[in-house]
């Protein structure tokens, strides 16, 4: 069986980014840039005040000297003239520094009397000016291709003064949940042996959060002819197909046979990881097909480890950015691992990472509190609290 790292290398080698499109900036949230984003102009474009106060020529603004207030400068409404010695301009944070001024004295140190202003001694040496282009210069690359436009990144993108941006096309995803036992939530209790389909809803949500568009979400029993029909439709309409369940080798495990007519080039299957050994990945033509286990925990762990990186790569993102493990301390001990690399579900507490109590692959209730995965190599010895471990946001 392949290791997790070997499988990720194969995944990366077999994914090609989709095409690009240009959209309005306000429609770009969550999308991946398909080109470098350069600034149209310097920021700030001129020297600006970083405090409310008075713009003056510092050498001519000694304590107790009375200066003439000749005008006002506000953001978007600069003072048009030139300031001379013995003069001051009332100025507000973000306004352009008037010609001739080299200092802003805070209003807390000013005493205003009509058209005159004096300044108390001890207002300090600070000039309270942000220099032109101190943030960035015109033509500078502010965001590189492959960057995802999350809310904080959009601040930088907007500052570039671009009304439209080129972004990767959103992957169209088809999800096929397999299993005779699956029913829509709300209907399982009406049957003798039905189980609510909890996984496909969560996978669809993960896809949407990862920038993809779910074009179909189908539920199908263990009937090969029906599954083959769904597989053909999915390959036709989607850029990526996700199959849950049916990944073992029993008579009713049909996840891979369902692609016999559309063709499936299997890249990997059966990994040396826990949970999620049955996960598999292949290509139907050029379209990626990812098979996830049917057990809810196994499905969600492998979706975090493989589906999120896959969707990122389809949009020009870096797979490595989706798998950035950090070192965090444990709040409770962990037992030794077996012969498979193990991903332990945990949650963050004030004392550190706390593994959830039930690590069984079919457990669903503990997923509500698990927000970290602890990565433990195969054959790891037991570890004590306060030990540093590799962890990935889950």
Domain that holds residue 147: 32-43+138-168
Within a domain: 77: yes
Whether residues 205 and 245 fall in one domain? yes
pLDDT per position as a tens digit, 75-88: 999 999 999 999 99
Give the largest Cα separation in the chain, rounded: 95
Task: Detail the DSSP E strand segments found in 335-387.
Answer: 341-349, 352-355, 372-376
pLDDT per position as a tens digit, 43-68: 999 999 999 999 999 887 776 689 99
pLDDT per position as a tens digit, 94-122: 999 999 999 999 999 999 999 999 988 77
Of residues 105, 112, 107, 101, the one with CA closest to residue 78: 101
Q: In the predicted model, what is the mean pLDDT of the chain?
A: 93
Whether residues 245 and 267 fall in one domain? yes
Within a domain: 269: yes
Map residue 224 onto helix, strand or coil: helix
Q: Which pLDDT score, from 0 to 100, does residue 252 have?
A: 53
Within a domain: 27: no
Within a domain: 26: no
Calculate the CA dihedral of residues 18, 23, 25, 27 and round it to 10 degrees: -80
Total domains, the chain: 4
Within a domain: 23: no
pLDDT per position as a tens digit, 281-333: 999 999 999 999 999 999 999 999 999 999 999 999 999 999 999 999 999 99
Whether residues 185 and 241 fall in one domain? yes
């Amino acid at each position: 069986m392949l290791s997790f790292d070997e499988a990720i290398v194969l995944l990366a080698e077999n994914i090609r980014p989709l095409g690009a499109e240009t959209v309005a900036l306000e429609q770009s949230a969550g999308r991946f840039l398909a080109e470098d984003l350069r600034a149209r102009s310097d920021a700030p474009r001129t020297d600006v005040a970083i405090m409310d106060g008075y713009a003056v020529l510092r050498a001519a603004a000694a304590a107790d000297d009375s200066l003439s207030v000749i005008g006002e400068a506000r953001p978007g409404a600069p003072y048009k003239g030139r300031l001379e010695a013995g003069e001051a301009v009332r100025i507000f944070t973000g306004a352009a520094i008037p010609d001739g001024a080299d200092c802003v004295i805070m209003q807390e140190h000013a005493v205003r009397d009509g058209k005159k202003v004096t300044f108390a001694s001890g207002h300090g040496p600070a000039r309270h000016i942000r220099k032109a282009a101190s943030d960035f210069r015109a033509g500078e690359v502010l965001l590189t291709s492959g960057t995802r436009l999350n809310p904080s990144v959009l601040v930088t993108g907007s500052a570039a003064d671009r009304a439209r941006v080129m972004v990767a096309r959103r992957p169209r995803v088809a999800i096929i949940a397999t299993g005779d036992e699956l029913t829509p939530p709300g209907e399982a209790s009406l049957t003798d042996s039905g189980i609510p389909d909890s996984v496909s809803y969560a996978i669809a949500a993960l896809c949407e959060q990862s920038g993809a568009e779910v074009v179909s979400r189908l539920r199908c029993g263990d009937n090969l002819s029906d599954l083959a029909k769904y597989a053909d439709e999915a390959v036709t309409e989607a850029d990526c197909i996700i199959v849950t369940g049916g990944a073992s080798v029993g008579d009713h495990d049909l996840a891979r046979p369902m692609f016999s007519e559309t063709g499936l080039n299997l890249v990997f299957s059966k990994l040396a990881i826990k949970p999620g050994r049955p996960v598999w990945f292949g290509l139907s033509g050029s379209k990626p097909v990812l098979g996830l286990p049917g057990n809810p925990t196994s499905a969600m762990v492998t979706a975090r480890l493989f589906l999120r990186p896959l969707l990122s790569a389809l949009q020009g993102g870096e797979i490595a950015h989706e798998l950035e493990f950090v070192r965090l301390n444990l709040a409770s001990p962990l037992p030794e691992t077996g012969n498979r690399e193990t991903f332990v579900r945990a949650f963050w507490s004030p004392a550190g990472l706390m593994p959830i109590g039930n690590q069984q692959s079919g457990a669903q209730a503990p997923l509500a509190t698990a927000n970290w995965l602890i990565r433990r190599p195969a054959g790891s010895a037991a570890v004590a609290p306060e030990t540093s471990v590799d962890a990935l946001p889950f």
